[in-house]
Amino acid sequence: MSILEALRGTLAVSCQAADGSPLQPTDHIVALAKAAVLGGAKAVRIEGVANVSAVRNAVSVPVIGITKIEHPDSEIYITPTLEDVRQLCEAGADIVAFDATARPRPCSVAALVEAVHQAGRIAMADISTLDEGRAAVAAGADFAGTTLSGYTPYSPQTEAPDFKLMEDLFRAGIPFVAEGRIWEPTDARRAIEYGAAFVVVGSAITRPDVITRRFADAVAGARTTPEFNGESR
């Protein structure tokens, strides 16, 4: 059974930490990945070559590897170059994900795909629109990810998952993974029902600062509503 077949209908968890987060050290990323697997994740998405290497040695599930590197002349920063691909493959990534949006880029999508395949790995194209999904698969990507919908100025800017993009990808016959703004288990289930091969969830599981902020904002909002008077109900 191939990795993609094994992942069909399952959950993958993105275990990443923002700059300045207390969870940024590699040993914490490894702990997050192990906890996700313990909870039922069938794959993990990991940022950074050192983190990918450490997690690969700590878990038995497939690792989706990415780098995030800013370039002064391009908005592309998820696995932007052939060197990033090479390092991720050497670190043990089973799947290499990269930005496949239509913005100016330091390396073509086709070249990235070729490098991934030459290393015997699976190529995941992070896209934000249907046309980008079509172009990525035409360039040889094994599947698209809805990861970047909402992160390009020409894609829908919403707080909810881009189910319309999922529907369009499915109708176009483009294999895809659902990722991005999936906050509830019902969202993940709905993504599978819309045709996603599998679902990647990140912040809702592995970003306690973001999760805490959502709860804190909700509680603060409740205190200021006119209906609140401190009496029991």
**63-113 pLDDT, tens per residue?**
999 999 988 889 999 999 999 999 999 999 999 999 999 999 999 999 999
227 or 184: which leads in pLDDT: 184
Lowest mean pLDDT among 4-8, 126-130, 170-174, 220-224: 220-224
Around Cβ 184, how many Cβ atoms within 10 Å? Answer: 12
Q: Which residue has the tokens 């914490």?
A: 28
Structure-token pair, residue 61: 């599930």
In a domain, 231, yes or no: no
In a domain, 21, yes or no: yes
User: Can you count the helices (H) and strands (E) in the chain?
Assistant: 10, 8
Which DSSP letter does residue 60 get? S
98: nearest Cα among 126, 70, 75: 126
User: How far apart, in whole angstroms, are the C-alpha atoms of residue 18 and residue 209?
Assistant: 10
Q: Would you list the DSSP string of 167-217?
A: HHHHHTT--EEEESS--SHHHHHHHHHTT-SSEEE-HHHH-HHHHHHHHHH
In a domain, 215, yes or no: no
In a domain, 233, yes or no: no
Cβ(85)–Cβ(108) under 8 Å? Answer: no
For 122-176, the pLDDT digits (tens) are: 999 999 999 999 999 999 999 999 999 999 999 999 999 999 999 999 999 999 9
Residue 1: pLDDT above 80?
A: no
For 10-63, the pLDDT digits (tens) are: 999 999 999 999 999 999 999 999 999 999 999 999 999 999 999 999 999 999
Distance, C-alpha 159 to centroid of its chain: 16
In a domain, 140, yes or no: yes
Number of domains forming the structure of the chain = 1
162: nearest Cα among 146, 176, 177, 151: 146
In a domain, 91, yes or no: yes
In a domain, 13, yes or no: yes
The residue segments making up the domain with residue 56 are: 7-207
Q: In the chain, where do the E strands start and end?
A: 11-15, 43-47, 63-66, 95-99, 122-126, 143-145, 176-179, 199-201
In a domain, 115, yes or no: yes
What dihedral do alpha carbons 178, 182, 188, 190 form, nearest 10°?
-80
Give the H/E segment covering residue 223.
helix 208-223
Which pLDDT belongs to residue 34? 98
CATH number of the domain at 115, please: 3.20.20.70
Which pLDDT belongs to residue 61? 98
